[in-house]
Each structure stands twice: as C-alpha cells, then as structure tokens.
Structure 1
Amino acid sequence: MLLSLTYSLLIFLSIYLLIFFTARVLANNFYETIFRELITKFKLPVFLLFLNIALIIPLILHKKSKFLYSALTQFLEISIIFIFSWIIIKSMHQFRLYLAQKHRIDVEDNLKARKIHTQYRILERVIRILILFFAVAAALMTFKPIRSIGVSLFASAGVASIIIGFSAQKIIASIIAGIQLAIAQPIRVNDVVIVDGEWGSIEEINLTYVVVKVWDRRRLVVPTTYFIDNIFQNWTRKSSFILGTVFLYTDYSIPVDEVREELDNLLQDNKLWDKKVKVVQVTDTTEKVMELRILVSAKDSPTSWELRVFLRENLIKFIQQNYPEALPKSRVEIKK
C-alpha cells in the first residue's frame, strides 16, 4: 500500500512539474502575459488536485482497506470535487479578464464590447451557482446514507419545487429577469440611463439586481425586474454617440444669426464637440419669451454633459455682454 502511494505521488508530481515547466517556457518565449497569469492563479489548485488524485488512486485500488482508509478515500473524493469546481470558477474568472483586455469598454466605440461583457457576466454568475450546487450535491452523494435516499428525494422533488416556487416567486422572477437582460439586452454595462428620474450609468448587472452609478457617485440598487416591467431611458442603446440640447429663453429682439455665429466660435477647436451636429433653432414662442434650442453632438454622454454646461454658460455671458436688452423681460403698456 505504501509503495503504491509513493509511486502514485511521484508520477503525478512529475506530471505537475512538466505542465508548469512547459507553461513557464511558453511564458518566456511566446505568450508571456497569459501564461504567467495562469501559473500564478492555477499553481495551488492544480497542485492540490494532482495531490488528491495521487493519493486516492492507490486507496481505491486497495480493495481490503480498513475504516481509516475508507474515510480517507471519501475525504479525498470530496476534496477532488471541490478543487475541480474551484479550478473551473477560476478559469471563468480568468476568461473574463481576457475579455476585458480583448474587448475594452474604455474606448470610444465600445458597443460590441459592452454587449459581450454584459452577456458573459450574467452567464458566469449562472454557471458559478450551478457549479456550486452540483459540487455540494456530488459531495453529499459520496455518503452512503444520503445516496440510499437519493431516489426518494428525487421523487419528492416535484412537490418540493412547487412549494419553493410559491414561497420564492420574487427571487425566481428576479433570476429569470436577469437572464432576460443577458439575452435581450435592453441595458448593457456602461449604458447611460435615466431610472426613476436619476441620471447615471450601468455599473453592475447581476442575476437579481442592477447597480446604477448616479452622476454624483451615489449608487442605485435596482431589481432586475424593474428593467423588464417599467419604462426607462437608455441614451446609449445603439451607440455611445449622443445629442445634447441647451435651451435659452430670450426676448424677441435677440438676433438669432449672431447666436449661431457665437456657437461656431465656441465650438471651434473645442475637444468636447465631435464635429458632427451643431444647430440653433427657434423651437417655441410665448407672449413673453422666445425659446432657442442649441443642438450639439458629442462622443458619449459624460462629454455631452460637459459640452452643454460649457455652451449654456458662455452663451448666457455672450447675451449679457452684447445684447442685454434681449434678456427676458415683462412689458407693461400704460395708456393715457
């Protein structure tokens, strides 16, 4: 028994060293970043997995093992199940990091990247829950008493699922809504949205809730069902390109052409403007004021916000300095 354990340990230790020696050679010669990351993250779990396999094989082959050996065999089986699950979860995490490098969301045209990240993050969470569930189930099935009543448990699973379904309707609805968000994608990571009157961007999409980062750095934690059942604004549904509006209310005497000329001056060499759209229009009139709408474009929503603030401030200053008589006023006509 001891001799077979020694042989098994030597064999699997050799395989382990060969695998990581090969990965180190590849890291030094070809894919340095990828393989160095793999060596760092998977060194411990792979070593534990090989160690458990090396110990369990002689114990399984030793048919006439005593109680201590049986207990040790069961412990090693459970260890292999959880270590293997650990390796799969870490692999999924590493693949997410690879996607973050391959499809960056901090670039101007990031629509495809946000779509991929949204789908994978939700898929990763679903698979992680399933892996943990099956790992615990497989570990429990190594115990003979539990294995013997497994058939009756499966037979009663239908009744249990109905009871659980009624008692956890909201949780199940939230999970299903999270899966719907991954497939239909009414929102994606980094989308700019208006939710319940709050302007912000999608920071996290989880199975049961979504985190919205508000412009003043607050976080709204919104149930996933909200984005299925309610109306909300998504400013970057098709692209990050967005139009910004500035409204000015002036007297009828304002020369609109002069405002257009000043807009051209303000946008010239302005890095906030993407040089696609610039319009000044009279969009409404009342008995007191005339409404001017300045329409400009920017590469994304935060830039559009900065551009709108800049234009609003400088156009008001332009009117104050050059046409103060065109500021909104009330007229009173006195007849003698």
Structure 2
Amino acid sequence: MENLLRPVIVIGASVLLTLALGWATDRLLHRADERHHDTPLWGLLRRGRVPYQLVLCTALLRGSYDQAKLLERHQVGIGRLLTLVLIGSAAWLVIRIAGAVVETTYSRYARAHRDAARVRRVRTQVELIMRVVSAIVIVVAISAMLLTFPAMRAAGASLLASAGILGIVAGVAAQSTLSNMFAGLQIAFGDMVRIGDTVVVDGEWGTVEQITLTFLTVRTWDERRITMPVSYFTSKPFENWSRGTPQMTGTVFWHLDHSAPVEAMREKLRDILRESPAWDGRAHGLVVTDSTPTTIQVRALMTARDADDIWTVRVAVRERMIAWLVAEHPYALPRVNTSEAVLPPRRLPSADGGAQGSSVSVSFRAPHRR
C-alpha cells in the first residue's frame, strides 16, 4: 500500500502545487497589467503561463522522483525523460520572456517616434533579433539535451577535435544558407529594406510583408506573395519607393493629336487634382515632352504622400482626362488622316528660264478607294 500511496502523493502534490503557483503568478501579472496600461510587458508575460507551469511541474517531479520509487526498473529512463522535458520547457519559457521584453521595447519606441520609416526599420531589426535569439536558445537546448546521454559526453572530446574540419565542410555545404543569413543581418542593420516598404522587384510592385534570416516576402497589389532569398537584395538593384521620406512624384503620359488644347488640359488637371483627396498639394504640372509626325506626347506630373496615394492620383488623372477629352475635345485624340491631300498648283517654265505660276489650273484626282 505504501509503494502505491507514496508516488500518488508525490505526483499529485507536484501537480497541485504547479497549478496553484501558476494561478497565483497569472493573477499577479493580470493586476500589474491593469495598473500599468502604458506598458504591455505584463500582459505579454502572461503568454508564458503554459511553459512556466511545465517547468515547475517537471522540476518538482524531477526533484522528488527518486523518493517516489515509481517504476524502479525504468528509473533512469524516466529521469532522463523528465530532464529532457525540463530543458525543452525552460527554453520555451526563455523564448516567451525574451519575446515579451523585445515587443515591449518596440512598442515604447513606436509610441515615442512618429517617423514611420524609423519605426519600420526598428520593427525589422526587432523581428530578426528575436529570430536570432530563438535560434540560439533552441541550439543550446538541443545541445544540452544531447549532453544528457553518456555516449554523447564521451564523444565530446572527439567532436571538439574535429570541429575545425566539420566547420569547413558545413560552411561549403551550406554556403547559400549562410550567405542568406548574413544578408538578412545586413538588411536588418543596414536599413536597406524594411517591413512595410514599397518595392519594385523584377518588375513586380508590392509591399514587404515579412523578413527572415533567409528569405523575404513581398505582397503584390493583387494579393500575391513573392518569396525571394534575402541575398537578392544585397547583390542586385531594386527600387525602394519608401526609402527616405514616403512622399512620391508620379507621371501620366498621353499621345494626342497636334491640335490638342494643352492650356485647357493644364486647367483641367488642376481641377482634377483639387478634387482628389490623395493629392498632397505640393506640386503639379503638364507639359509637351515629345512630338512625332502624327502625335505629341503630353506628360502630367503630380505628387502624393506615399506610394498608395500616388497610384490613386495617377489612375484618377488618366481616366478623367481621357473622359474629358472625349466629351469636350474629341479632335485632340490621336487619329489617322484618310482625307485627300491638297496638292500645290502646277508651275510652268517662264521665258527667262525661271518658273512662274501658270494660269492654267491642273487638277489631280486621287484614285478611287474601294
């Protein structure tokens, strides 16, 4: 009876004590979160309740397992299993705590600074730092788990001796992966591209949605996701429309007839922009930039607060100007001339060898078109 009652008491007491401590800690964090609304730290720390209770329960069971004398034949195996669970749950708890601290720091910075570009830069750096910290904690936890096995401890000396050769082999084998990791760190701290930036990559226009140590995701205007290695952004040119200030200048081109009313188009452009809420009012203009034997090229220029607004303004100006030309000045639209050409009068030679106009009119008729 004692052999059965003792392990039940030990396990039951460990579980009850874990639940009690977890509930008490959660209540304290909840009260701290209600008192301090300016910081989300206490609320974020509550997310670590599960790993916290797992660490407590595993530690209590691991410490009292020897006295419980449960399954003595498998005592070594169960003890090692509890140790592995303890290491894994501790790593999980460390990652949750580090995430709460980093997220709190970023929230304070975002509230203190109004510059959206700087906030996006810090957001990118924070996410990459969290990924690096998580990777380090996971690697350390896995190493600690492996060292709990006697065979791994015995092989430690030989592993250290061959670490140089293994490092060279691993570096050659994972060259692309390592280059992407270093490129990710370079992007994060070199301020080349940030989360939320508007970029043009391989002719695709979109917004940077996610940056990791190895790849970058761009969300296009039609909701597609383009995933690219981060090394691309350190080795090839790309357009970053959010670099510096988000303000942008856009252009719209039309090919029109030579008789197009350019001055009236300038006034119409001014009216269209005044009615557009996306125009920031900084600048606008309309000029003739080129001419061909059949058409002229007219360019309209306008400004906006960011890439999204400049797209909206350009579309509105293009559509409304074409509609206005069709309704008010249809002759300004490009056309192909099909009327008969007016030929000059025939000139006859004069007596002094020169040429003079003849009073005889000669008419030419164009061939009949079918």
Query: What TM-score results when the alignment is normalised by the length of structure 2?
Result: 0.78
Residue identity opposite 2:185 in structure 1:
I
Residue 307 (structure 2) aligns with: 301
Confirm or deny: 8 A CA contact 1:191 1:235 kept in the other structure.
Answer: yes
Q: Distance in 1 between matches of 2:160 and 2:66?
A: 28
1:335 to 334, 343, 349: 343
The change in CA–CA distance for 1:196 and 1:164 in structure 2 (over 3 A counts) is same
The change in CA–CA distance for 1:290 and 1:102 in structure 2 (over 3 A counts) is farther
Q: Give runs of aligned pairs for residues 105-144 of structure 1, distance below 5 A.
A: 110-144=116-150
The change in CA–CA distance for 1:152 and 1:168 in structure 2 (over 3 A counts) is same
Alpha-carbon RMSD across the aligned residues, in angstroms, is: 3.3
Residue 78 (structure 1) aligns with: 84
Residue 178 (structure 2) aligns with: 172
Residue 292 (structure 2) aligns with: 286
Q: CA deviation at 1:52?
A: 2.0
The change in CA–CA distance for 1:103 and 1:300 in structure 2 (over 3 A counts) is farther
Confirm or deny: 8 A CA contact 1:297 1:304 kept in the other structure.
Answer: yes
The change in CA–CA distance for 1:71 and 1:141 in structure 2 (over 3 A counts) is same
Residue identity opposite 2:158 in structure 1:
S
Q: Give runs of aligned pairs for residues 1-336 of structure 1, distance below 5 A.
A: 9=14, 16-31=22-37, 35-39=42-46, 41-58=47-64, 68-94=74-100, 98=104, 110-330=116-336, 333-336=341-344
Confirm or deny: 8 A CA contact 1:108 1:240 kept in the other structure.
Answer: no
Confirm or deny: 8 A CA contact 1:108 1:299 kept in the other structure.
Answer: no
Confirm or deny: 8 A CA contact 2:251 2:301 kept in the other structure.
Answer: yes
Confirm or deny: 8 A CA contact 1:251 1:288 kept in the other structure.
Answer: yes
Q: CA deviation at 1:230?
A: 0.8
Q: Distance in 2 between matches of 1:318 and 1:99?
A: 53
Q: Distance in 2 between matches of 1:238 and 1:199?
A: 18
Question: Number of matched residues?
Answer: 331
Q: CA deviation at 1:112?
A: 1.5
Residue 236 of structure 1: SS of its match in structure 2? coil
Residue identity opposite 2:170 in structure 1:
I
Q: Distance in 2 between matches of 1:196 and 1:160?
A: 38
Q: CA deviation at 1:25?
A: 2.4
Confirm or deny: 8 A CA contact 2:45 2:96 kept in the other structure.
Answer: no
Q: CA deviation at 1:58?
A: 4.6
Residue 186 of structure 1: SS of its match in structure 2? coil
Residue identity opposite 1:175 in structure 2:
M
Confirm or deny: 8 A CA contact 1:208 1:224 kept in the other structure.
Answer: yes
CA deviations over 1:207-262 (Å, ceiling 9, x no partner):
22111112222221111111111111111111222111111222333333221211
Q: Does 1 or 2 have the higher relative contact order (CA < 8 Å, sep 6+)?
A: 1
Confirm or deny: 8 A CA contact 1:49 1:80 kept in the other structure.
Answer: yes
Residue identity opposite 2:123 in structure 1:
H
Residue 360 (structure 2) aligns with: none
Confirm or deny: 8 A CA contact 2:106 2:126 kept in the other structure.
Answer: no
Q: Distance in 1 between matches of 2:23 and 2:77?
A: 29
Q: CA deviation at 1:54?
A: 2.3
Q: Distance in 1 between matches of 2:73 and 2:248?
A: 71
The change in CA–CA distance for 1:189 and 1:295 in structure 2 (over 3 A counts) is same
Q: CA deviation at 1:193?
A: 1.1
Residue identity opposite 2:327 in structure 1:
Q
CA deviations over 1:42-97 (Å, ceiling 9, x no partner):
222111111222233456899xxx77544443333222211111112223444565
Q: Distance in 2 between matches of 1:91 and 1:223?
A: 30
Q: Distance in 2 between matches of 1:16 and 1:303?
A: 50
Which runs of no fewer than 5 residues in structure 1 stay unpaired?
A: none
